[in-house]
Amino acid sequence: MTPALVIEAPRAVVDGQEQGCTVLVRDGRIAGVEELGARLDAGRRVRLDDDVVLLPGLVDTHVHCNDPGRAHWEGFEHATRAAAAGGVTTIVDMPLNSVPPTVDVAALSAKRSAAEGRCFVDVAFWGGAVPGNVRDLRPLWDAGVLGFKCFLVDSGVAEFAALDEAGLRRAAEAVASFGGLLLVHAEDPDSLLPTPSGNDYAWFAASRPPEAEVVAVEAVVAASTATGCRVHVVHLAAAAALPVVRAAHDAGVPVTAETCPHYLTLTASDAPDGDAAFKCCPPLRDEINRDGLWAGLLDGTLGMVVSDHSPCPAELKATGPGGLADAWGGVSSLQLGLAATWTEARKRGHALADVVRWMATAPADRADLWHKGRIAEGADADLCVLAPDETFVVDPVRLEHRHPVTPYAGRTLRGVVRQTWLSGQPVDLQAPARGRLLRRGGPR
């Protein structure tokens, strides 16, 4: 048994509010949380300054590591370095953009081999639901994935096909049969317009209208209602779809939804002409829409904020003769999600405890990672020491992301991560990687 450690934090987010506390850490876990000034025996003692707040490490359930197969787009090492630098201590890897995609147990094993020994934070995995793999879902669940991601629209990569409405029902039925969770990229293909050529972001955004999300979220709610499957809408971007989610909540349908830092902080008009760093699907929309998403967070229709970190090499973000249509869609923000969200949340009068609920506790709960995302007895001692009032200017080349491409370049953000702790020890990016591969129900 390693000697216990005591962290004295004049400011911390515990039990949903900011308060002083003393955290007792033993064997990588939180062994107790007492009031500040409590006398606890310990081999080692750390006293935090008054200008920082101790948070639980963030849990980002929407990260594309693209590894194996497209590791040159990001990879586990870069992704988890960026996560640690951004105060994120657990990521859940998306099943696509890697080759193979995580659609059967062999592909999950390939993921685990690629990730083994290279992760600076803890990593869990989503499986994928694609046409023809219904029989693979249960074995993947038994092998430890936390749930299954599917698309209703072209995913952008040929090896991860979309489900049609019948396919969605079959997947939902199968996942419901073992009590799993189905994640859906909810845009309706028939509501999309051809992607226009040109560099004007507003044109691109107009080709993926809010109605595409509304129609798709309705289909998701219908599938959940019909099958009883727990369903989660990823990266909801259209405020117009919120009433559909709210009605489902009122009716007791087990549907939840997330949004992302970029939809909460940026709008289509922030994107300079032809700058594909801002290109994502669904697209950024207008200010009224952004206000609507904040209202959705406030009333609980949206439960969580996760990055949808989806990087690629700079060449693939270059616009050709077709303009934005030629560029890969995906925003890189894993290292910046906390600061971006906190910057905007603070302006809008939200507390740091709200951000912790959206970015740590709620995602952990949705992914059944009950030992993550909270400073509480029994949880893993994964922590983030944040200077909430300090600002910095985003310089992409100083990020840990593999490629220096991000829509936040040059922006001043508030909230500097001073230190990230994993399993009771500060993460050291110069030392060997200590992150564990998690499976449903615990490590390994």
* Contact (CB, 8 A) for 194 and 207: yes
Would you give the end-to-end CA distance of the chain in angstroms? 21
CB of 25 to Zn ion, least distance (A): 33
Longest distance between any two alpha carbons in the chain, whole Å: 67
| Site stretch for Zn ion (CB under 5 A), options 16-24, 77-85, 305-313, 359-367 | 305-313
Closer to Zn ion at the Cβ: 215 or 281?
A: 281
Binding letters toward Zn ion, positions 260-299, x by CB under 5 A: ----------------------------------------
The angle subtended at Cα 263 by Cα 169 and Cα 209, nearest 5°, is 60
Residue in the structure block whose two tokens are 């740590």 = 360
Q: Which residue is nearest to Zn ion (CB)?
A: 308
CB of 146 to Zn ion, least distance (A): 15
Closer to Zn ion at the Cβ: 74 or 308?
A: 308
CB of 94 to Zn ion, least distance (A): 5
Closer to Zn ion at the Cβ: 308 or 382?
A: 308
Tell me the three state secondary structure of residue 322.
coil
Closer to Zn ion at the Cβ: 53 or 92?
A: 92
Give the tokens for residue 300.
């609980």
CB of 263 to Zn ion, least distance (A): 13
CB of 70 to Zn ion, least distance (A): 14
Give, to the nearest 10 degrees, the angle between helix 165-177 and helix 210-227: 40
Q: Kindly state whether residue 136 participates in binding Zn ion, applying the rule CB under 5 A.
A: no
443 phi/psi in degrees, rounded to 5:
-65, 155
Preceding omega of 243 cis (within 30 degrees of 0): no
* Contact (CB, 8 A) for 188 and 212: yes
How far is residue 425's CA from residue 430's CA, in Å, rounded to a whole number? 14
How far is residue 176's CA from residue 224's CA, in Å, rounded to a whole number? 9
CB of 150 to Zn ion, least distance (A): 12
Closer to Zn ion at the Cβ: 31 or 305?
A: 305
| Site stretch for Zn ion (CB under 5 A), options 10-18, 304-312, 370-378, 397-405 | 304-312
Q: Kindly state whether residue 354 participates in binding Zn ion, applying the rule CB under 5 A.
A: no
Closer to Zn ion at the Cβ: 258 or 380?
A: 258
How far is residue 93's CA from residue 117's CA, in Å, rounded to a whole number? 16
| Site stretch for Zn ion (CB under 5 A), options 129-137, 308-316, 350-358, 423-431 | 308-316
Closer to Zn ion at the Cβ: 262 or 350?
A: 262
Q: Kindly state whether residue 308 participates in binding Zn ion, applying the rule CB under 5 A.
A: yes
| Site stretch for Zn ion (CB under 5 A), options 23-31, 279-287, 306-314, 355-363 | 306-314
Question: Tell me, what DSSP letter sits at residue 401?
Answer: S
CB of 332 to Zn ion, least distance (A): 12
Question: Tell me, what DSSP letter sits at residue 328?
Answer: P
Q: What is the CA radius of gyration of the chain?
A: 21
Q: Kindly state whether residue 258 participates in binding Zn ion, applying the rule CB under 5 A.
A: no
Beta strands 122-125 and 127-128 are unpaired
Give strand pairing partners of 41.
Answer: none
Closer to Zn ion at the Cβ: 186 or 245?
A: 186
Closer to Zn ion at the Cβ: 90 or 423?
A: 90
How far is residue 174's CA from residue 317's CA, in Å, rounded to a whole number? 37
Closer to Zn ion at the Cβ: 363 or 424?
A: 363
| Site stretch for Zn ion (CB under 5 A), options 176-184, 193-201, 300-308, 436-444 | 300-308
| Site stretch for Zn ion (CB under 5 A), options 3-11, 209-217, 244-252, 302-310 | 302-310
Q: Quick count: other Cβ atoms within 10 Å of Cβ 128? A: 31
Q: Kindly state whether residue 8 participates in binding Zn ion, applying the rule CB under 5 A.
A: no
Buried b (16+ CB within 10 A) or exposed e, 262-284: bbbbbbbeebeebbbbbbbbbbb
Closer to Zn ion at the Cβ: 258 or 354?
A: 258
Q: Kindly state whether residue 60 participates in binding Zn ion, applying the rule CB under 5 A.
A: no
Q: Kindly state whether residue 187 participates in binding Zn ion, applying the rule CB under 5 A.
A: no
How far is residue 204's CA from residue 206's CA, in Å, rounded to a whole number? 5
Of 195, 197, 218, give the one whose Cα is nearest residue 207: 195
CB of 128 to Zn ion, least distance (A): 12
CB of 378 to Zn ion, least distance (A): 31
Query: Which residues are near Zn ion by CB under 5 A?
Result: 308
